[in-house]
Amino acid sequence: MRDRKDFSSLTRLAEKCLNGNSDAGASQGDENRHLQLNKQNEQNGFKTLAREQVGFFHVWIRGSNRFIVFYESEDFKGFLSRCHNAAQRNETIVTAFILMDNHVHLQVYTKSLTAFMKSLLMSFNQWYNLRKGMRGQVFTSPFCSRPIYSVDYLEYNFLYILTNPVRAGMCESVKDYRWSSYHFTKVGHYNFLNRFIDVSNMVADFLFSSNKDLNLKALEHIEEYWAAKEAESGSGLGATPIVSSTPEKVVKSIVKPSDNEVAQYLKFVLRGRELGCLTRCELSRVMKVLRFQGNATFRQISAVTHESFNDVVRMVKEAEG
C-alpha cells in the first residue's frame, strides 16, 4: 500500500516536469508571482475565492443552466485544443479528463489553478459563442475544484473521471467512450485525441501496473458505485446495473435516451436548420417530436433547446392541443 511519502514523490515528479530540472517545490519567486496574479484576477472581477493554487486538483465545470455544451465533434475538439493551450501557458499538466454532454471533469497538476481555468474558460467561451452565434457564459461560474492530498483520493478521482460515461449509461466500458483521457493510457495504440491535447501518464503509471490493471480497477469502481446507489435506494426500485460476464463491462439499464442521443435526434429533426431560425410554433412542434417520438424528458429538451424548463412544459402542452 502506497503511503504519503509516495504521494510526495509524485508531486516532486510533477514539479520536475514543469520546471525542467530537478528542483522540487515552488520557489519564493513563484509564490510572489501567484500572489500578484491572484490580486490581478480579483481586480479584473475573476475572484480566486481563496482557492489553493498549487498542486493536484480535481476540477469540474457544468454548462450554464445545465444546458448541453457539446453537440458535435468540433465542439469537443475545440475545448481540448484550448485546454491544451491554457495548460501550456499556465504551468499546468493535465493527467485525466472526461468531456460529457453538458459538463467536464479534469485532473491536473498546476502552479496556478485560477489562471489556468480563466485562460481556458475565456478562450473557449469566446470561440464557442462566435461559432454558434450565441452570447453569454457557456459554463456556470465560478468553476468547482478540490485539492488532492493523498494517493487514495488521487486514485478514486482518476477512476471517477474515467468511469463517468459508464455510470451515466452512455457506454459499456471506459475504453468505449471517445472523449476521454483513457485512450492516452494505451501506449502503442493509435489515439486521435493527441492531435488536440497533451495528457501526462505520470498518474496512470504511478497508480496502475498496466492497462489491464486500470481496466480491472475501473470495473471495481463502477461495481462499488452501483452497490452504494442500491444501498441508498433501499427498495431496489429504479434502474439496476447489470454486470456482464466480461470483466471490463458494466451496463446500466436505461429507460430513457441519453442527453447525447437527444441532441443527435434534434439535429436529425432540424435537418440542417438552426434553432434560432425557427418560429415559436415550429419550435413547439420540434419539442413535441422530441418528447413523444424521441422519449426525451422535459429537462433534456430544455438542455438541447436552451429554453427554460417551464417554457418547455408549456410549449409541449400547447403543441399537444
What 8-state DSSP symbol labels residue 310? H
Contact between 65 and 179 under an 8 Å Cβ cutoff? The reply is: no
For residue 185, what pLDDT is reported? Answer: 93
pLDDT given for residue 248 in this prediction: 44
Amino acid type, 99: L
Q: Residue 195 has what pLDDT?
A: 95
Write down the pLDDT at residue 235. Answer: 45
Among 138, 110, 124, smallest CA distance to 30 is for 110
Q: How does pLDDT run across 66-116, given as a tens digit for each residue?
A: 888 998 899 999 999 999 999 999 999 999 999 998 999 999 999 999 999
What pTM does this model have?
0.72
Is the four-CA dihedral 191, 216, 10, 49 of positive or negative sign? positive
- For the chain, residues with pLDDT lower than 70 are 1-5, 21-49, 232-256, 321
Bridge partners of 55, per DSSP, are 110
pLDDT for 234: 59
CA distances from 313 to 45, 264, 298 (A): 36, 21, 7
Q: What CA–CA distance (Å, rounded) separates 278 from 157?
A: 42
pLDDT score of 139 = 93
